Amino acid sequence: MKKADFLKGNIEIQGSKNTVLPIIAATLLGSGISVIYNCPMIEDVFVMCELLECLNVKTKLENHVLTVDTREADYAPLPSELTGKLRSSVLLLGPILARWKKAEIGMPGGCAIGLRPVDIHLEGLMKMNVDIKLHHDVLMCETYYMQGTEYHLKFPSVGATENLIMAAMGVKGRTILRGVAKEPEIIELCNYLLSMGALIEGIGTDVLVIKGTAALESCDYCNVYDRIVAGTYLLMAAAVPSDIRLIGIEDIHYIKNIIHVAGLLGVTVVKFENYLSVQSSGKVTGGDYITGIYPEFPTDLQPVLISVLLGAEGHSSVTETVFDNRFGIVGELQKLEADIEVLGQKAVIHGGKRLQGHTVKAKDLRQGAALVVAGLMCKGYTTITNISYIKRGYEDIVRDLQNVGVKITYI
Ligand code: EPZ
């Protein structure tokens, strides 16, 4: 890819990865056919479908429409070779337990962005009377009956909240979950479960009251746009003079926090009926930022923000509060002659200096996308290797950038 002087054109924002993965897991709670519209055609979705197929679930993904047929679903262990390919494989634990009262599932994989334990998932399940053993990296779970409980999550983990909500569907009686995550993905999952016939109170707050229901009906779902992909392009626009449109954004509620930060960086965003008009002069304003749980600035955009801040004169900083080791971007940006230092959980960026294109390596999904954004700011050519990481979450970042005039291609 080459340095970009001006971005102009339209980018269609794909459906949300982190919303659709738990929704796909939730289809297991019904015995019928579910159709999921606006499903992103990405690697993580393909693997999630393969995992369902191990349970004799039929899946078909065509033109962003995913059909899941659980009518003949049958219990089976989930092999580590597949579960190890993505973090969200662990989200099948809740629905499998709710449906079959037992589960045997390899430990999850996922991006290497720090310690990613599943202790909160497991502690919550044990409170529901699930017996869990770890045997050679395989979780062996069993329960005679799942029991209503009251459980306070020690951290509002997104995945644990999703898992426990789905597991609670198999409980006879009431489950109260305190200290839950409030990310948009949780709200979408709860609303989907309501449409399947679940009873959940407190949606969008940090306490959820869930009434177990054995008979959930399979339901269709229209996926929301991906707030992190939209955010990637909103922030990117700060770094290069831009006049672009992000298409498919009908409601900005879930990205107000990101639009706010884009504004501070120097981007003007105007909402139209189903798109955002995004303009900037390409002159980045520096500042000090901190990631946090929703509605604070998302950790998933932290690497992109660091890349963009390289364009700002003087010192800026980004503090990471969600993951303990998510500055994998820094070493690669240094290969582009970026001046950044990491002090514990804070990255200090000395910006406004010339960046030089080089070969850099994607090491996780968002870090990879952030390298693409940095490449737009580098003199000469930048080559990014290991792009399979980026494909786990961005349907086609090359196509998206070509649509706004960037000279970028697969090699
Ligand atoms: C989800 O991961 C997202 N993934 C992540 O996006 C995102 O970064 C993260 O939430 C935070 O917003 C999906 O939705 C598929 P967590 P998740 O459980 O659920 C600690 C991307 O790039 N924790 O909220 O795995 C954990 O170590 C991905 O799209 C425990 O200690 O995140 C971390 O520090 C990357 N014990 C913090 O909580 C647990 O049992 C947040 O993790 C679980 C988590």
Digit-coded pLDDT (tens) for 188-206: 999 999 999 999 999 999 9
Ligand 1 in reach of 296 Cβ (< 6 A): no
CA distance 95 to 106: 15
Mean pLDDT of 205-231: 95
- Per-residue pLDDT tens digits for 257-296: 999 999 999 999 999 999 999 999 999 999 999 999 999 9
What crossing angle do the helices spanning 17-26 and 93-100 adopt, rounded to 10°? 10
Mean pLDDT of 318-332: 96
Statement: residue 172 has pLDDT above 90: no
Indicate the pTM of the whole model: 0.97
Q: Whose CA is nearest to atom 26 of ligand 1?
A: 116
- Provide the percentage of residues in the chain whose pLDDT is more than 90: 95
Nearest to 366 by CA among 308, 304, 311: 304
Looking at ligand 1, which atom is closest to the CA of residue 324? 34
CB 357 within 8 A of CB 364: no
CA distance 404 to 206: 40
CA distance 182 to 40: 23
Looking at residue 111, what is its pLDDT? 64
Mean of all residue pLDDT scores within the chain: 96
Query: 235 pLDDT band (50/70/90 cuts)?
Result: very high
Looking at residue 81, what is its pLDDT? 94
Ligand 1 in reach of 45 Cβ (< 6 A): no
Q: Whose CA is nearest to atom 10 of ligand 1?
A: 158
Provide the token pair at 348.
């200090």
Looking at ligand 1, which atom is closest to the CA of residue 181? 24
For the chain, what is the total number of helices (H) and then of strands (E)? 14, 21
Residue given tokens 């191990």 in the structure block: 54
Ligand 1 in reach of 391 Cβ (< 6 A): no
Question: Of the residues 322, 366, 391, which should be mutated to test ligand 1's pocket, given the most ligand atoms within 8 Å of the CB?
Answer: 322
Q: Which residue has the higher pLDDT, 136 or 377?
A: 377
Ligand 1 in reach of 155 Cβ (< 6 A): yes
Looking at ligand 1, which atom is closest to the CA of residue 293? 12
Phi, psi of 266, rounded to the nearest 5 degrees: 120, 15
Statement: residue 113 has pLDDT above 70: no
Looking at residue 212, what is its pLDDT? 87
Mean pLDDT of 28-44: 97
- Provide the percentage of residues in the chain whose pLDDT is more than 70: 99
Q: Which residues are catalytic?
A: 111
Query: 208 pLDDT band (50/70/90 cuts)?
Result: very high
Count Cα atoms within 13 angstroms, Cβ side, for 330.
19
Question: Of the residues 47, 158, 232, 300, which should be mutated to test ligand 1's pocket, given the most ligand atoms within 8 Å of the CB?
Answer: 158
Looking at ligand 1, which atom is closest to the CA of residue 299? 8
Looking at residue 137, what is its pLDDT? 85
